[in-house]
A and B are shown apart, each in its own frame.
Chain A
């Protein structure tokens, strides 16, 4: 299981817009590189990322080989309720990793 790093504020005031940062370690091999012998290095990338908050989809991304290695994403959410973030990365050759984080909303 690859390492994932999540950065979400633990607390937020109701109605605040918060930033969510997610990073995972992955080579993101493009499939366009070749070895010195001339063989193509097969593609191995993360193809999709999903972030759910309390089960509902908040953000989703499709990745292509043009996304840099160790894909990093930052996006936003309105903090309406306390709850749990679930992050999921899916990729080539059955790659899959998950992470979670929680947010508590104060008045």
Chain B
């Protein structure tokens, strides 16, 4: 190589280095997702993982996360936890120990989330929980854990008030009542309907893998209830709605499922769903959506060629919360500072769900966020947002603080 070539190369390198020093350095921030990507919980987990990836793409396209003079582009690693506690622990251990991840998002299902929550307090990591609705996840005051979805009984209380207002006195429940948070939802409903002289006349159970609910429905039909309340995962709930019609049960049907139109229509027809109520957090449906929600729905549908599940924005919002917190904290390395910054955040403008801040902050002292609750009704093939359900996030937050 001639001396002229070497001199030229050194000069070019010097120019390149000098030029780049004028710009922000671009770095990579790896975010982990642990969620149910297969199995029964995948109806919630897979859309959540997709939502995080979509948020990461959007943030990267907009320049990434700005920390001082650095710009962090987000890289997402998603592992399947099958909604199983052992698998979830393994997945999170892999993310933290092997992949060096400090921020873990997702978490659709309560059992697997509770397993990770039991040790995350000892880790230099921040855990953002999505759809998992079990109340105890945010009663343990874990400083590096927050949850975007409100607990099930917060919604159950509002649902009970709504059902009682409709004048129903004898309500039969059919659901996955061996799952803690569904039972908590029903307990809260019962407390409210009792206030107006109503009662729960049956608590029939189905498991998450059951598909034939006609025995339970036949028994319920014999009790002649005013209304039926269905709580459980989308698929078994869809079978209940379908089979109730097939058995000629012409009574109001209420539910707590958070399934999308597409998910229900895989099992049942629109005619069989007509008139069904879903009493749940004001999650994503186009009629209840804000401008962000409408954009989210359109972008998700375009990217994944499928409609987003109503609960998937809980995970999408997690990443915008994390972005805001990291930028406020001015660090990606100090997870304690970032976790603290999350607790102090107002609701970021990019989020999709309609959060009800407590004392001006998105998360309360327990690390819990609250959305409004809504009554949605199936009308001509769509979930239609009918009205807000009365929800007092501050009062519930104070109640949550009293639990261990």
- Judge: A and B partners, yes or no: no
- Residues of A at under 8 Å CB distance from B? none
Which residues of B line the A interface, CB within 8 A?
none
